[in-house]
Amino acid sequence: MILGLASMVREVLPIVAVVLFFQWVALRRRLPHPLRVVIGFIMVLVGLHAFVVGLKLGLFPLGTLMAEQLIEQGIPAMILLFALLIGFAVTMAEPALVAIAEQAQDASPGKISAFAVRVIVAVGVALGIGFGVHRILVGGPFHYFIMTAYAVAIVLVFFAPKHIIALAFDLGGVTTSEVTVPLVTALGIGLAAAADGRNVLIDGFGLIAYASIFPVISVILYAW
């Protein structure tokens, strides 16, 4: 516990150092509400440490266990259904996506609905993870699949409304955050480890790449 917190302090200190340097040296201003900042810093450290421990105890083992059990069932349709549903569920719960969607709604009153954006992104992630899981099950070179997906996104950019392009790529990035990454990565590794003829490094990783690019495509298509 203590070693974990010490390690977390070491990881967070550079961020604090940069902020304080610009506040005190570059801007030459005092830090407003220093006590509140210190308390917030402590809460961040404790929260990050608890989150990392939770990943190790909960999400990572759960993703691996589900992958192993699904492979044992030997029903590809069930594996794909689980991939689709878990992709949608974890994305809807992603805090970064909630924040970005609300900011987009505030920045464009009447044009963008925060809930609609979350649903569209979640559908994109679900399809991306489902596509990635299908590739693990059937095999095939990862780079061909992901290059095709990015090529589709690039082509769509030329026909998409200008106001949605930057938002679409931002939304694709925020989907790979603290809730989605642990469970999806564990699922990919678990499937590759349990499936015959698959290599964990080659086939197990890469689901997050699909979870990033497919929301870009789904948001652009939604904007049409």
Measured CA to CA, the distance from residue 101 to residue 118 in angstroms comes to 7
pTM of the full structure = 0.81
pLDDT for 85-122, tens place per residue? 988 998 998 888 888 889 988 888 777 888 999 999 99
pLDDT for 27-69, tens place per residue? 888 878 888 888 988 888 888 788 778 777 777 777 777 777 8
Measured CA to CA, the distance from residue 195 to residue 181 in angstroms comes to 21
- Confidence at residue 204, expressed as pLDDT on a 0 to 100 scale: 82
Angle, nearest 10°, between helix axes 180-194 and 60-73? 40
The chain-wide mean pLDDT, for the chain, equals 85
Measured CA to CA, the distance from residue 181 to residue 212 in angstroms comes to 11
How far is residue 78 from each of residues 75, 102, 196, measured CA to CA in Å? Answer: 5, 34, 18
Question: For 139-152, what is the mean pLDDT?
Answer: 89
- Confidence at residue 1, expressed as pLDDT on a 0 to 100 scale: 58
Measured CA to CA, the distance from residue 162 to residue 6 in angstroms comes to 46
